[in-house]
Structure 1
Amino acid sequence: MKPVEAASENFYSWGEVCSGWRLLDLTHFQVRQESMPPASAEEPHMHRQAHQFFYVLDGQMTVRTPDGAVCMGPGQGLHVPAGQPHWVRNDGASDLIFVLSSSPGTSGDRYPVDPASWAAG
């Protein structure tokens, strides 16, 4: 066993401007550290199998669901159950850095959703 850290060998980019690091990449459990610059967002989606837990290290995270928006800062986390449509955004003025855990892993388990009918937020 050895410690793992965000480094060039486990780096990936996603979206147009976001970054990530694979800290643990098992079929049944994944842990990522991700970074989103201000005004960036992922595509609205859901996972049919994977539960996810977002934990903010720095910055401000907005998680939108059909029920509305949840805003979180450093030291706060949120469980997104399997089947829950969601959309993570950085509406803050600085980079958003967070840890994302998924169980099981999300490979092949990401489905786009249309947020047009979601509650405002």
Structure 2
Amino acid sequence: MTGRAGKIVLALALAAGVLTACTQADKDTNTGRTIPFDLYTHCGIREALIGSTYFEAQDPPSDGSGNPPEGWGNPYQRGTMTLTSETEAVFTDDAGHEVKFRARPGTEPSMPLCA
């Protein structure tokens, strides 16, 4: 194949490889591995989806009205997530925030998203 058709086939093959890598990464539980993470904060810092497992915040930071406290990004806070064990993770960021999470059973979010 040459020309435009060849470029399209190459682009599709590369995209398939990227999708496969993402799927495999979701299955990895590499304990101790730290990854960039955008933590959803809009309705409060309650849970995080890591791979295919939901983790609940142990002491969810809040402004008292279900929102992230002052100093947190909204709707997301950029930072890193470290899987400290198969059932525990820690979110940290450059602002000094830290939230500990614990895995919970189930594959659906436990709390509905707010508007």
Interval of TM-score (by shorter of Structure 1 and Structure 2): under 0.3
By percentage of residues, which structure has more strand?
1
The structure with more radius of gyration: 2
Higher helix share: 2
Q: How high is the TM-score relative to the length of structure 1?
A: 0.27
TM-score, reference length from structure 2: 0.27
